[in-house]
Amino acid sequence: MADTLSKLQDVFRDVFEDDDLVISRATTAAQVSAWDSVMHVTLMMAAERAFKLRFKSGEVTGLKNVGELVDLIDRRLGG
Amino acid sequence: MSFVDTDFLLFFPVVFIGYWLLQKRRWQNIFLLLASQVFYGWFDLRLPLLLLAVTGMNYGAAILVDRHPEQKGRILAAAVLLSVVNLCTFKYFGWFAAEIIPKLVGPEEAGRIAALHVALPLGLSFYTFHNLAYTIDVARGRLRVRHDPVDYFLYGSYFPQLVAGPVERPQNVLPQLESERYFDWSRVTSGMGLALWGGFKKVALADAISPYVDLMFLHQDPSWAMVWTGVLGFTIQAVTDFSGYTDIARGTSRMLGIELMDNFAHPYLAATPMEFWTRWHISFSTWLRDYVYMPACFSDSVRDWVTIPFTGEWSPFWNTARALAITMLVSGIWHGSTANFILWGAYYAVIGTAYAAVVAKLPKKWKKDGRWRYLTVPVMFGFTLFGMHIFRQPSVPVLLRHLTLNPLGGTPEQWTVSASMLGLCAYAALPLGLAIVYERFLAPRVKDAVWFLPVRTTVWAVFAVAIFSSVRTSSGDFIYFQF
């Protein structure tokens, strides 16, 4: 889980072009500047690429925070 | 009935008084449900039957999904298919009868079919999407099913947002309809102010500029300046007309204690096409985002079926570009069957993708600098003008001819007409500009001043006088009624 969060942090930094960005399980879209609905799609696709998996649209629209995204990735990776 | 009919000025006070006298939520909902059928039946007595059929189909489909979760995919597919077939039958019958049927059958038979004159029922696409959102969300497990027919049928046919949106979401409206509403004088006055502002935008601004815009677009041999001042006029007419409708819808609904979502956020201040769609017709844009764009981004069948040439794997950029193309095509087809709407959808897909590609390459510090918007907003407004031209001009050859006109050409009379049009545009745009200044800079500072209340009341009185003096000459139609 810690690995997932750490890898996800790299994805966030890449997508939001911010090398100082630090995320935690409690981070929400409201706390990250520019994390709007359009960037959300880009972020999810970048995460798909990084973790080599495919999300369903129903999975990525209901996420409340980074923690739920980490759990989703771990679940999909069978972790 | 239309919001700017004199009938509505009599209808709404009766509904408002009756609704608040009833006090109990159950009776209020029954009363509003009946009032909504009267409102819709005022256009044509057959219309409420169609509305009840669409609403009833979604009400039943959601219950079936809940009872038979193992069959939810099939039930949802059937509900979506029925909705699309029903919508397309009404929406494209005219085009089909004129363009396709004569090629399939003889002219006599084609004439008989065309004589059926199947017209698009007002608001059908709006309440189809509005109801479908509920069924999809229940099937996706995002919403619990509703069994109370009064609450659901009221959600499906609530009159303030029935014929031209906002395309509401069940998560916003249903909980409000299921809760007690209490009379709140401040909400009533706030709603009245919003409705008056909406009415003012419609009858005093949009309707004032509309006949001149029509003349510009009907002109057989316009100059370059006439074309583009006409397009500018339509751009202002479109936002005053449609946001005017929305504000009346939201304002009257607020007076009944039910808050509807905002539909416009100064769209011409957008800096990119994607930002434009978060500011223009927000309820429909977000509907498309959630029910078309997102599935198109993440659906395996779309990913595997529509492959991208020359790329070995799907990259986030091309995947979103493909989803945007599908979404804008759906949006274009939804707006109409003529070639210009398809072209309009393709135009936004292309500029949206191009912007995404260019913005990704720009230095980070430029994007973070607020002053950057002084350049990007006017550039985006130029793209919006071009999009409005495609949207308003049904003939693609005429559109292409307009693009070849000489910017300095035209007779002195044509320059005078263009200058007059520009003056009209300034007249109609000025209140919109003042509204932005008021909203952003003045309102937070002056709301507690002693003079605020009398000034606000005076402004509302001016709106009311403008509405009452113009309502008889208003066409009563809103641009988005045709969609």
Mutate to test the interface with A, among B290, B292, B294 (most CBs of A within 10 A): B294
Looking at residue B216, its pLDDT comes to 87
* Residue partners of B255: CB distance under 8 A and separation at least 6: B16, B187, B188, B191, B192, B195
Tell whether A42 is within 8 A of chain B (Cβ). Answer: yes
Looking at residue B249, its pLDDT comes to 94
The first and second tokens of residue B279, run together, are: 């500011």
Sorting pLDDT into bands at 50, 70 and 90, what band is B258? very high
Which tens digits make up the pLDDT trace of B183-195? Answer: 999 999 999 999 9
pLDDT, chain B, mean: 86
Contact B429, B246 (CB under 8 A): no
Residue of B297, B299, B364 lying closest to A41 (CB–CB): B297
Residue bearing tokens 């909902």:
B29
Contact A45, B319 (CB under 8 A): yes
The answer to whether residue A42 scores a pLDDT higher than 60 is yes
Chain B CB contacts of A56 below 8 Å: 298-299
Sorting pLDDT into bands at 50, 70 and 90, what band is B310? very low
Contact B158, B32 (CB under 8 A): yes
Q: How far is A25 from chain B (nearest CA, A)?
A: 22
- Calculate mean pLDDT across residues B113-132: 78
- Calculate mean pLDDT across residues A27-51: 84
Percent of chain B with pLDDT over 90: 44
The first and second tokens of residue B432, run together, are: 């919109």
The answer to whether residue B311 scores a pLDDT higher than 60 is no
- Name which residue leads in pLDDT, B363 or B48: B48
- The structural domains of chain A, ordered by start, are 2-76 (1.10.1200.10)
Chain A CB contacts of B320 below 8 Å: 41-42, 45
Contact B2, B9 (CB under 8 A): no
* Residue partners of B252: CB distance under 8 A and separation at least 6: B3, B12, B160, B191, B195
Looking at residue B117, its pLDDT comes to 63
Report the chain A residue with the minimal C-alpha distance to residue B139.
Answer: A58
Q: Is the peptide bond before B267 cis (omega within 30 degrees of 0)?
A: no
Distance CA B136, CA A57 (A): 13
3-state per-residue secondary structure call for chain B: CCCCCHHHHHHHHHHHHHHHHHCCHHHHHHHHHHHHHHHHHCCCCCHHHHHHHHHHHHHHHHHHHHHCHHHHHHHHHHHHHHHHHHHHHHHHHHHHHHHHHHHHCCHHHHHHHHCCCCCCCCCHHHHHHHHHHHHHHHHCCCCCCCCCHHHHHHHHHCHHHCCCCCCCCHHHHHHHHCCCCCCCHHHHHHHHHHHHHHHHHHHHHHHHHHHHHHHHHHCCCCCHHHHHHHHHHHHHHHHHHHHHHHHHHHHHHHHCCCCCCCCCCCHHHCCCHHHHHCCCCHHHHHHHHHHHHHHHHHCHHHHHHCCCCCCCCCCHHHHHHHHHHHHHHHHHHHHCCCHHHHHHHHHHHHHHHHHHHHHHHCCHHHHHCHHHHHHHHHHHHHHHHHHHHHHHCCCHHHHHHHHCCCCCCCCHHHHHHHHHHHHHHHHHHHHHHHHHHHHHHHHHHHCCCCCHHHHHHHHHHHHHHHHHHHCCCCCCCCHHHHC
Tell whether A54 is within 8 A of chain B (Cβ). Answer: yes
The answer to whether residue B22 scores a pLDDT higher than 60 is yes
The answer to whether residue B206 scores a pLDDT higher than 50 is yes
8 Å CB contact of A41 and B286: no
Sorting pLDDT into bands at 50, 70 and 90, what band is B134? very high
Looking at residue B348, its pLDDT comes to 93
CB pairs under 8 A between A and B: 44
Residue B327 has a CB neighbour count (10 Å cut-off) of: 26
Backbone angles phi and psi of B43, in degrees to 5 = -70, -45
Tell whether A37 is within 8 A of chain B (Cβ). Answer: yes
The answer to whether residue B54 scores a pLDDT higher than 90 is yes
Which tens digits make up the pLDDT trace of B222-243? Answer: 899 999 999 999 999 999 999 9
ipTM of the complex: 0.78
CA distances from B433 to B122, B269, B318, B370 (A): 31, 11, 38, 20
Looking at residue B91, its pLDDT comes to 79
Looking at residue B64, its pLDDT comes to 94
- Calculate mean pLDDT across residues B248-264: 94
The answer to whether residue A58 scores a pLDDT higher than 90 is no
Looking at residue B308, its pLDDT comes to 54
Q: Of B352-356, B377-381, B471-475, where does the model show the most confidence?
A: B377-381
> SS3 for B445?
helix
* Residue partners of B437: CB distance under 8 A and separation at least 6: none
Looking at residue B477, its pLDDT comes to 65
The CA-to-CA distance between both ends of chain B, in Å, stands at: 17
- Name which residue leads in pLDDT, B79 or B394: B79
- Calculate mean pLDDT across residues B186-209: 91
Chain B CB contacts of A17 below 8 Å: 364
Helices B47-67 and B72-95 meet at what angle, rounded to 10? 160
Contact B290, B130 (CB under 8 A): no
Contact B179, B259 (CB under 8 A): no
Residue of B141, B295, B320 lying closest to A57 (CB–CB): B295
- Calculate mean pLDDT across residues B444-456: 82
Q: Angle at CA A60, nearest 5°, toward A56 and A63? A: 145
* Residue partners of B325: CB distance under 8 A and separation at least 6: B346, B349, B353
Residue of B299, B300, B316 lying closest to A46 (CB–CB): B316
Chain B, residues 97-136, CB within 8 A of chain A, namely none
Q: How far is B140 from chain A (nearest CA, A)?
A: 7
Looking at residue A78, its pLDDT comes to 78
- Calculate mean pLDDT across residues B24-52: 91
The answer to whether residue B313 scores a pLDDT higher than 60 is no
8 Å CB contact of B274 and A38: yes
Q: How far is B316 from chain A (nearest CA, A)?
A: 5
Which tens digits make up the pLDDT trace of B405-428? Answer: 888 888 889 899 999 999 999 999
Residue bearing tokens 């292309």:
B350
Looking at residue B173, its pLDDT comes to 93
- Name which residue leads in pLDDT, B95 or B258: B258
Contact B273, B195 (CB under 8 A): no
Domain ranges, ordered by start, for chain B = 6-177, 193-222+241-264+420-482, 271-403
Chain A CB contacts of B278 below 8 Å: 36-38
Looking at residue B165, its pLDDT comes to 72
Mutate to test the interface with A, among B138, B274, B283, B298 (most CBs of A within 10 A): B298
Sorting pLDDT into bands at 50, 70 and 90, what band is A32? confident
Distance CA B163, CA A16 (A): 40
Chain B, residues 242-301, CB within 8 A of chain A, namely 274, 278, 286, 289-290, 293-295, 297-300
The answer to whether residue B120 scores a pLDDT higher than 80 is no
The first and second tokens of residue B482, run together, are: 């045709």
Looking at residue A79, its pLDDT comes to 54
Percent of chain B with pLDDT over 70: 93
Report the chain B residue with the minimal C-alpha distance to residue A43.
Answer: B316
- Name which residue leads in pLDDT, B4 or B309: B4
Residue of A38, A44, A61 lying closest to B290 (CB–CB): A61
